[in-house]
Amino acid sequence: MMALGHRFADEFPELCLPWNAAQVPEPSLAIFNDNLATELGLDPGRLSGPEGVGVLAGNLVPEGATPVALGYAGHQFGNYSPRLGDGRALLLGELTKPDGRLVDIHLKGSGRTPFARGGDGKATLGPMLREYIVSEAMCSMSVPTTRSLSVVMTGEGVYRDGIEPGAVLTRVAASHIRVGTFEYAIRLGGEDLVRRLADHCIERHHPDSDDSSNRYLGLLSAVVDAQAVLIAKWMSLGFIHGVMNTDNMTISGEGIDYGPCAFMDAYDPSTVFSSIDHGGRYSYGNQARVATWNLARLAETMLGLFSDDTEAAVEMATETVNGFVDRFAQHWNALMAAKLGFAEVPTNCEELVSNLLTAMHKDRLDWTRAFRSLSGTLRADSPGVSDPIADDGSEQSAELSEWISRWRAQLSDSGVDHQDAATRMDSVNPVYIPRNHIVHDVLQDATAGSLTGFEELIEVLSDPFTERPGLERFAAGSSAQFAASFQTFCGT
Ligand code: AMP
Ligand code: MG
């Protein structure tokens, strides 16, 4: 069925607790990811059959597996919690993919564990389908992410705002080691445990760090870079994670835990999507800054590994963490240059982008539609003044028209063929993203018993860059009223 190893559980008994999932009364599949199953070397037919669904629901433990609840700490909205951990999740074990790489198979919503504190250990259908939608959309847009193999409905009612259908998500990840795992390890087992954890992460996620003169500093640097790539990609797509706590930041560099997250509609850097994020800590425009803050928490746990001389260790750590700023800028500029059709990053990239963003902000343009429609202004081969890239059909502002003229001229000056640029732009500026109002509607329908809309959305998002007739509503912006009132909630 699924041959799972238990390497993490064996190597780090301090960091996990053997535990079993709660039995659920009536498991049935809401969705099963055939492609991912095949990619993992699993038999989709068997895994989506009755016995497989038993495994995906947590009712059956695959032979030889040792499920564990993972311990971790974390800074949530800046406040330290020494013991969070998998309160409603389990690592079933590690699977070896056909390419030889290990991935975690993890259940979310599988019942209370000793880390549950006051929680009921359960998950509901809407939020688990939301994670499925976002992770699979991310993957289709080449953003590093955990994946979703399935969502099983448990046949059980779970109490939230009212009674909702219970569900279990099966998540596939390079690993579930987080910044919060290091924070947990330093407190529990000191430098020795952190060293073992770091060695494990180097081997599993960042083998190149082994070549650096100081391998642990090399690991920190690799994590800094992986996170810089991730945040730059998120932001280039207008994505806001919403809860970038240190327990939601992986060492592998995959995005994880898509709770109160969303793709922005109208561009506004102060947009937040968590109902409890009053200070804007995790707003769109603050994500790079908060990533650096989180990486500093990681670095603190590793100080003793960098050098015996504390002062020197702090200096090395600070320099490496601060390196995020340049790396992020590099990745961001490369991504934005590509979104604007340049074959190479122009020297004035930052200024060009910032001027566009200022105009977009003023005009309250939809992030995704604005970028996608820029290729149209190249194809039309007109100065763009009359091309409505404003999402509400209103007149394009003079500022934006001027920007478009300057940008077109610069493309020409740098020898870029406009038609080629338009084609390249369409391969990086998606038409279809999980739009808030559509996700909201399909999850509401799913909770009420109809999965048709959800399935259609998954199909649309599997090919985000190819515009197809008949799918216009998936590319349209939401009503201003919806956008103004929209927030996802932390109570997932
Ligand atoms: P999250 O917001 O999903 O990243 O979770 C933060 C922490 O709360 C983690 O330790 C979770 O395991 C825990 N948690 C969230 N929801 C529940 C729940 N329903 N029951 C038990 N623990 C939960
Ligand atoms: Mg989490």
Question: Do 118 and 183 fall into the same domain?
Answer: no
State the closest ligand 1 atom to the C-alpha of 492, by its place in the atom list counted from 1.
Answer: 16
The rounded Å distance from CA 152 to ligand 1 centre is: 19
The rounded Å distance from CA 161 to ligand 1 centre is: 17
pLDDT of residue 383: 55
Question: Do 186 and 333 fall into the same domain?
Answer: yes
State the closest ligand 1 atom to the C-alpha of 89, by its place in the atom list counted from 1.
Answer: 12
Ligand nearest to the CA of 173: 2
Asked, for residue 401, whether it belongs to a domain, the answer is no
CA distance 371 to 336: 10
The rounded Å distance from CA 459 to ligand 1 centre is: 29
Question: Do 224 and 307 fall into the same domain?
Answer: yes
Nearest to 71 by CA among 82, 92, 81, 86: 86
Count of CB atoms within 10 A of residue 469's CB? 5
Nearest to 223 by CA among 250, 190, 195: 250
Ligand nearest to the CA of 242: 1
Question: Do 168 and 23 fall into the same domain?
Answer: yes
254, HSE (Cβ side, Cα atoms, 13 Å):
24
Asked, for residue 128, whether it belongs to a domain, the answer is yes
Question: Do 192 and 295 fall into the same domain?
Answer: yes
Asked, for residue 382, whether it belongs to a domain, the answer is no
Task: Name the strand (E) or helix (H) holding 262.
Answer: strand 262-263
Residue with tokens 């559980």: 9
Contacts for 322-328 with beta carbons within 8 Å, 24 or more apart? 322/292, 323/221, 323/224, 324/224, 324/227, 324/228, 324/288, 324/291, 324/292, 324/295, 325/288, 325/292, 327/224, 327/225, 327/228, 328/228, 328/231, 328/232, 328/288, 328/291
Nearest to 356 by CA among 346, 380, 478: 346
161 catalytic residue (yes or no): no
Q: How many residues does the chain have?
A: 492
Question: Do 149 and 233 fall into the same domain?
Answer: no
Range of the domain at 145: 4-173
pLDDT of residue 490: 46
8 A C-beta contact, residue 36 and residue 462 = no
pLDDT of residue 275: 85
Ligand nearest to the CA of 121: 1
pLDDT in tens, the chain (492 residues): 899 999 999 999 999 999 999 999 999 999 999 999 999 999 999 999 999 999 999 999 999 999 999 999 999 999 999 999 999 999 999 999 999 999 999 999 999 999 999 999 999 999 999 999 999 999 999 999 999 999 999 999 999 989 999 999 999 999 999 999 999 999 999 999 999 999 999 999 999 998 889 999 999 999 999 999 999 999 999 999 999 999 999 999 999 999 989 999 999 999 998 888 888 999 999 999 999 999 999 999 999 999 999 999 999 999 999 999 999 999 999 999 999 999 999 999 999 999 999 999 999 999 999 999 999 999 986 655 445 566 566 678 899 999 999 999 999 999 999 999 999 999 999 999 999 999 999 999 999 999 999 999 999 999 999 999 999 999 998 776 676 776 665 445
Question: Do 82 and 64 fall into the same domain?
Answer: yes
The rounded Å distance from CA 157 to ligand 1 centre is: 18
Domain boundary among 317, 338, 359: 338
State the closest ligand 1 atom to the C-alpha of 72, by its place in the atom list counted from 1.
Answer: 10
Nearest to 140 by CA among 425, 428, 481, 447: 428
Asked, for residue 412, whether it belongs to a domain, the answer is no
Smallest CA separation from ligand 1 atom 17, residue: 119
CA distance 432 to 369: 9
Question: Which residues lie at CB < 5 A from ion ligand 2?
Answer: 248, 257
Asked, for residue 232, whether it belongs to a domain, the answer is yes
Ligand nearest to the CA of 122: 1
Residue 37, classed as helix, strand or coil, is: helix
Smallest CA separation from ligand 1 atom 14, residue: 87
Task: Name the strand (E) or helix (H) holding 53.
Answer: helix 50-57
Gyration radius of the chain's alpha carbons: 23
8 A C-beta contact, residue 338 and residue 424 = yes
The rounded Å distance from CA 121 to ligand 1 centre is: 8
Out of 15, 83, 88, 91, give the residue to mutate to test ligand 1, the one with the largest number of ligand atoms within 8 Å of its CB.
88
CB under 6 Å to ligand 1: residues? 84-89, 115-116, 119-122, 248, 257, 259
Which stretches does DSSP call E strand in 98-190?
102-108, 147-159, 163-173
**pTM across the whole model:** 0.96
Number of structural domains the chain divides into: 2
Asked, for residue 390, whether it belongs to a domain, the answer is no
Of residues 86, 104, 247, 391, which has the active-site annotation?
Answer: 247
Handedness of CA 410, 414, 416, 417 (dihedral sign): positive
Domain boundary among 338, 368, 391: 338
Residue with tokens 């200070």: 279
Q: In one letter, which amino acid is 250?
A: T
The rounded Å distance from CA 392 to ligand 2 centre is: 36
Q: 471-489: per-residue pLDDT in tens?
A: 999 999 877 667 677 666 5
Asked, for residue 301, whether it belongs to a domain, the answer is yes
The rounded Å distance from CA 123 to ligand 1 centre is: 9
Question: Do 224 and 331 fall into the same domain?
Answer: yes
Residue 407, classed as helix, strand or coil, is: helix
Q: Report residue 371 as tokens.
A: 């970028």
The rounded Å distance from CA 88 to ligand 1 centre is: 6
Question: Do 142 and 245 fall into the same domain?
Answer: no
Smallest CA separation from ligand 1 atom 11, residue: 87
Question: Do 18 and 143 fall into the same domain?
Answer: yes
Residue 107, classed as helix, strand or coil, is: strand
Domain boundary among 338, 363, 389: 338
Q: For the packed helices 215-236 and 287-306, what is the interaxial angle rounded to 10 degrees?
A: 170
State the closest ligand 1 atom to the C-alpha of 490, by its place in the atom list counted from 1.
Answer: 2
CA distance 158 to 125: 9
In this structure, the strands spanning 239-240 and 262-263 are antiparallel
Q: 396-444: per-residue pLDDT in tens?
A: 889 999 999 999 999 999 999 999 999 999 999 999 999 999 999 999 9
Smallest CA separation from ligand 1 atom 6, residue: 84
Question: Do 216 and 147 fall into the same domain?
Answer: no
Ligand nearest to the CA of 256: 2
Asked, for residue 445, whether it belongs to a domain, the answer is no
Q: 263-281: per-residue pLDDT in tens?
A: 999 999 999 988 888 889 9
Smallest CA separation from ligand 1 atom 7, residue: 84
DSSP-assigned beta bridge partners for residue 255: 145
Out of 68, 84, 258, give the residue to mutate to test ligand 1, the one with the largest number of ligand atoms within 8 Å of its CB.
84
Question: Do 122 and 16 fall into the same domain?
Answer: yes
pLDDT of residue 430: 98
Name the percent of the chain lying above pLDDT 70: 95
